[in-house]
Structure 1
Amino acid sequence: MRSIIIIVGVLFFASCNTIRVNYDYDKNTDFTNYSTYNYYPDMDTGLSPLDAKRLLDAVNAEMQLKGIRFSEDPDFFINIESNSFQAPRSNTVGVGLGGSGRSVGGGVSVGIPVGQPKLEREIRFDFVDAKKDELFWQGQGFSNFKENVSPETREEKLHALAAKVFSKYPPKQ
């Protein structure tokens, strides 16, 4: 019984930290042409300088795992942008009233928001062909985040987000 409670607890907390991913790409792209990358020099990630460094380290690690090298003369550039917003509350408690009399029915129901509003972060990665200056792949990661967490937790979350987004690159055509 105790192990069931632990498993349910782990699943509950894991579901709260879900990373959602969207991606899109130009279907005419030959992804084998892209073996080197760099970042746009004037890139503004929208993250704090420390979080930006953590994210770039995560991206570099993912690119290295895929055999794509960092280069001063790259095949493509990576642009990263982020946005933080307050996610709508999805937890509510319903309070209802109802009554009937002589075949007449009626009712009122009210949803009351429960819990703290959650901050959500979107990080978008654009891959742009260096010669044609054309977007050929785009990935977006969405996750909940808290601003007042340890540097280790921030690094773990950014690495997890980068790993999940880049698991979709190159796309299976």
Structure 2
Amino acid sequence: MKAIKFLFVLLLVSSCGTVVNYDYETSTDFAQYKTYDYFSDMQTGLSQLDTKRIMRAIDAKLTTMGMSRSENPDFYIDIQSEDVMNRNNSTVGVGAGGGGGGGFGGVSVGIPIGGNQNTRQIIIDFVDKKQNERLFWQAVSESSYRENASPEKRQAYFDALVEKVFAKYPPKK
């Protein structure tokens, strides 16, 4: 049953227009990175509970990829997030006009369709501190979210999001 819920949320996140953009340093040998940790002073922009949720999801994903968390890591992870309000500019115009006897008149009304949509942008950086804090991989995701979702749905959201974010890590050259 838990797997079905996860697949449903994964489908929901992937179908709701989650966009992930990647960037990386092309000279990086990704095979050298086996251990990681998070920056201790990380300011995620998420609640403390959501920060724990996304870190759990990242830990689980990186473990399946053969990496492990370490106190003396090969690289550090930084997570940043911000809420973005996207204004909906979709409207339907209704107009009326007329003219007669050399005069013209008109009325036009714009009716908004839908409403504003909140999206969350999450940036995940991989930084090699041994090489002067060199950023070598970055993923930027943007997807819609529900602020009032249950804790289980929030965890499922982050699990699905992390799956999509790490779908192209390490990059194919």
Same fold at TM > 0.5: yes
Q: How many residues align?
A: 157
Aligned CA distance change for structure 1 residues 109 and 69 (closer, same or farther; 3 Å): farther
Deviation at 1:88, TM superposition (A): 2.2
Any unmatched runs of 5+ in structure 1? 1-12, 102-106
Normalised to the residue count of structure 1, the TM-score between the two structures is 0.81
Matches within 5 A, 1:23-172: 23-97=22-96, 111-132=110-131, 133-172=133-172
The 3-state SS of whatever aligns with 2:127 is strand
- 1:74–1:130 contact (8 Å) kept in structure 2: no
Q: Distance in 1 between matches of 2:46 and 2:107?
A: 45
Name the CA shift for 1:33/1:52 in 2 (closer, same or farther; >3 Å).
Answer: same
Kindly, what percent of the aligned residue pairs are identical? 50
Aligned-pair distance for 1:92? 2.7
Give the match for residue 4 of structure 1: none
Using the size of structure 2 for normalisation, the TM-score is 0.81
CA contact (8 A) 2:13 2:160 kept: no
Gaps of 5+ in 2: 1-11, 101-105
Over 3 Å counting, the alpha-carbon distance change for 1:16 and 1:167 in structure 2 is closer
Once the two structures are TM-superposed, the CA of residue 139 in structure 1 deviates from its matched residue by 0.4
